[in-house]
Amino acid sequence: LRNIEAKVNNRIPKNFPTVKFLNYKNRKRILVTGGAGFVGSHLVDRLMLEGHEVIVADNFFTGRKRNVEHWDGHENFELVHHDIVRPLYLEVDEIYHLASPASPPHYMLNPVKTLKTNTIGTINMLGLAKRVGARVLIASTSEVYGDPMEHPQSETYWGHVNPIGPRACYDEGKRVAETLSYSYMRQEGVDVRVARIFNTFGPRMHMNDGRVVSNFILQALQNDSITIYGNGKQTRSFQYVSDLVDGLVALMSSNYTQPINLGNPVEHTIEEFAIIIKNLVGGTSKIIELAAVEDDPQRRRPNISRAKRFLNWEPKVSLTEGLTKTISYFEKELKKTKHSQGD
Ligand code: NAD
Ligand code: UDP
Ligand code: UDP
């Protein structure tokens, strides 16, 4: 008995960040699928700090417990190890449905699973929303526009997607997820929101994420060659993760039900981007060209007038500011890895 007592008394209370107090009328129960991933974990932080009850459902395919471990033990927080392809019975007010690998090497690893996650997984979340009357926000993507023939891309553009190419499992999976959302809205009255998310970066991206921002930063930090796929003339527009979180929360609370682009309209070629990162990091990396990847979209930039008009949202964080924060995150991650390898 004395041992047990000692254990209880020695339990050190965890130092949680300060969470707003919300009374029961304003406090919501919110499910975040994929909440242990890069974007999901930042969204969880925001919702927790605002005082809501948050349930994360994640199968840890690309996500990690440590992205949300700072909430472990908080009374408003729950982490469920769950694969969204299987049904999930909960009582919630809102669902942010983010579960899906997002990086091309990850979603191409098991294309059938990517399709199941985005189709069956989305049906399950729409079924749950229908049963409990919850509002559901689907994390769609700029990939629904494919290799676009319209530039910049506005929400009215129907896209240009190869249905049988290597990216199809993700692009078509997300297109079906959108079709499902609007079918459940029309047929069953489910309250849906659809965010078409453009390239996003920031701390907590996985070291092995494989997307361009993490690849280039890690290569520059280690003086390895910076690998451009193809001639580097293809373009992307990068938004910092806190801007995306602002947009997702604004969309969830708005009455606007059509798809909305969330992205930063500042566009760069991948070659320019390699130079920007090399200059910010310093070091001696060479910039090299590797073979182009199949079906790589050549130009991408969001038209965000809809988000500006209906959500009063636009990105606030500049590329340099966001990259500086992300570089220092990866610096720390590299030190941790070296430390754990005993260097
Ligand atoms: P991520 O890979 O870091 O996070 C995805 C999370 O979903 C991970 O925690 C993963 O373990 C989980 N997951 C995957 N399959 C699952 C399954 N079957 N069941 C339960 N959990 C599962 O990626 P991210 O960048 O955080 O992306 C989050 C969402 O935003 C995704 O839906 C993605 O398609 C979308 N999106 C992201 C970007 C971007 O640039 N980050 C761009 C467009 C769209
Ligand atoms: N579902 C779920 N949680 C719920 C309600 C439904 O996971 O709380 C899943 C269930 O697996 C179902 C799917 O959502 O197959 C779609 O639900 P819907 O009510 O549209 O279809 P039905 O149950 O009639 O097949
Ligand atoms: N890319 C690159 N080198 C890398 C990783 C990606 O040149 O190490 C290119 C890729 O071919 C694409 C762009 O960078 O043109 C963005 O790729 P990412 O995988 O980050 O996201 P996508 O927008 O293609 O989903």
From CA 196, how far away is CA 139, in angstroms rounded? 7
pTM of the model: 0.96
Q: 124 in ligand 2 pocket by Cβ < 6 Å?
A: yes
Instruction: Report the catalytic residues.
Output: 170
The pairing of strands 29-33 and 135-141 is unpaired
Summarised one tens digit per residue, pLDDT across range 213-229 is: 999 999 999 999 999 99
Give the model's pLDDT for residue 14: 76
Residue in 304, 294, 286, 170 with CA at minimum distance from that of residue 237: 304
Task: Tell whether ligand 2 has an atom less than 6 A from the beta carbon of residue 131.
Answer: yes
Among the atoms of ligand 1, which is closest to the Cα of residue 116? Answer: 18
Sorted by sequence, the CB contacts under 8 Å of residue 53 that are 6+ apart come out as: 27, 28, 29, 30, 76, 77, 78
* pLDDT value of position 340: 82
Minimum-distance ligand 3 atom for the alpha carbon of 199: 23
Please report the atom of ligand 3 found closest to the CA of residue 292: 11
Q: Which amino acid is at 102?
A: A
Residue nearest to atom 16 of ligand 2 (CA): 127
Q: What is the mean pLDDT of residues 54-68?
A: 97
Protein residue closest via CA to atom 17 of ligand 2: 127
Query: With contact defined as beta carbons under 8 Å apart, do 153 and 260 qualify?
Result: no
State the distance from the centre of ligand 2 to the C-alpha of 68, rounded, in angstroms.
Answer: 28
Atom of ligand 1 nearest to the CA of 61: 11
Nearest ligand (C-alpha, residue 174): 1
**For residues 96-109, average pLDDT:** 97
Tell me which residues have their CB closer than 6 angstroms to ligand 3.
Answer: 104, 199, 211-212, 215, 227-229, 234, 236, 270, 293, 296
Gap between the Cα atoms of 223 and 118, Å rounded:
37
Q: Which helix (H) or strand (E) holds 126?
A: helix 111-132
C-alpha torsion sign, points 210, 216, 220, 225: positive
Pairing mode, strands 191-197 and 135-141: parallel
CA of 46 to the centre of ligand 1 (A): 17
Provide mean pLDDT across the span 245-273: 98
Tell me how long the chain is.
343
pLDDT at residue number 339: 82
User: What pLDDT score does 244 carry?
Assistant: 98
- The amino acid occupying position 278 is K
- Residue type for 164, please? I
Say how far apart CA 310 and CA 193 lie, in whole Å.
13
Tell me the mean pLDDT in the region 148-174. 98
pLDDT at 1 over 70: no
Listing DSSP states for 153-211 in one string gives B-TT---B--TTSTTHHHHHHHHHHHHHHHHHHHHH--EEEEEEE--EE-TT--TT--S
